[in-house]
Amino acid sequence: MDIVSQNRSFGGVQAVYRHPSNTCGCEMTFAAYLPPQSRSGPVPVLWYLSGLSCTHENAMTRGGFQEHAARHGLAVIFPDTSPRGESVADDPDDDLGQGAGFYLNATRDPWARNFRMYDYILHELRSLVLEHLPVADRHGITGHSMGGHGALTLALRNSEMFESVSAFAPIANPTRSDWGRKQLSAYLGDDESAWSHHDSTLLLEELGWKSDILVDQGADDQFLDLLRPEALADTMARRRQPGRVRLQRGYDHSYYFVNTFACDHVAWHAERLN
């Protein structure tokens, strides 16, 4: 890995790294916050997956996670949202392509060659982080919007790899939303049976989750109808799944919302990881 930048932050280090990715077939960039406790030994890891059109940088600079991670002794990994580069397919006018990886492995052209964010996060980047950074093999995962969708689906399908999961305004039921059906059909094809592996509401119904789940959703979110948090909440209630879906009065879909509740989510993960 090449170091792109390093900055002191709350006694720890906020770094950005670049590395060649065999999984995505291009160069990938990610950020990592290492708390001051990491100087004394490996610390647990909180993965933060960002939303549509974001890079690693948005949450790193606007999410406010470093102060809380330093207090609780967690490393925070901020992956990019997709492969990038001149040779990577793109369709920004239709919320597809670069910045819109949707945390799956695409099977249709022109996306299949590079868009393998599911394997990239779970296997390639995870291995790099464990090999090169002072972190323990103990992981929680969270994310916002498209990243909340990714956090929930990756955790539910791989419960042995994560100890905790939460989400900020996740795309909770993409198989029944325009934020999902368009991307799932483009990346995976028209067979809707393949889409269910990337819908947290359907996955929770089928698989459940070994512990509790925390979801925060802004009640004034301008995309509320596309996110469908009620579908996830109904499934949690019907399945008697431990957890909380909190509808936060007055909050929208922005990073002001994420920043406000970042403290709660970091503390919640720290309690389950430490």
- Cite the active site residues: 145, 221, 253
Number of H helices, E strands in the chain: 10, 9
Say what the pTM is: 0.97
pLDDT, one tens digit for every residue, the chain (274 residues): 999 999 999 999 999 999 999 999 999 999 999 999 999 999 999 999 999 999 999 999 999 999 999 999 999 999 999 999 999 999 988 899 999 999 999 999 999 999 999 999 999 999 999 999 999 999 999 999 999 999 999 999 999 999 999 999 999 999 999 999 999 999 999 999 999 999 999 999 999 999 999 999 999 999 999 999 999 999 999 999 999 999 999 999 999 999 999 999 999 999 999 8
Rounded Cα distance between 20 and 257, Å, is 33
Q: Which CATH class is domain 2-273?
A: alpha beta
Residues 134, 248 contacting (CB under 8 angstroms): no
Q: Is 137 exposed, middle or buried (0-12, 13-18, 19+ CB in 10 A)?
A: exposed
Phi, psi of 132 (to 5 degrees): -110, -15
b (16+ CB within 10 A) / e for 178-215: ebbeebbebbbeeeeeebebbbbbbbbbeeebeeebbb
Residue ranges per structural domain of the chain: 2-273
Rounded Cα distance between 126 and 143, Å, is 16
How is residue 230 written in tokens? 């009620």
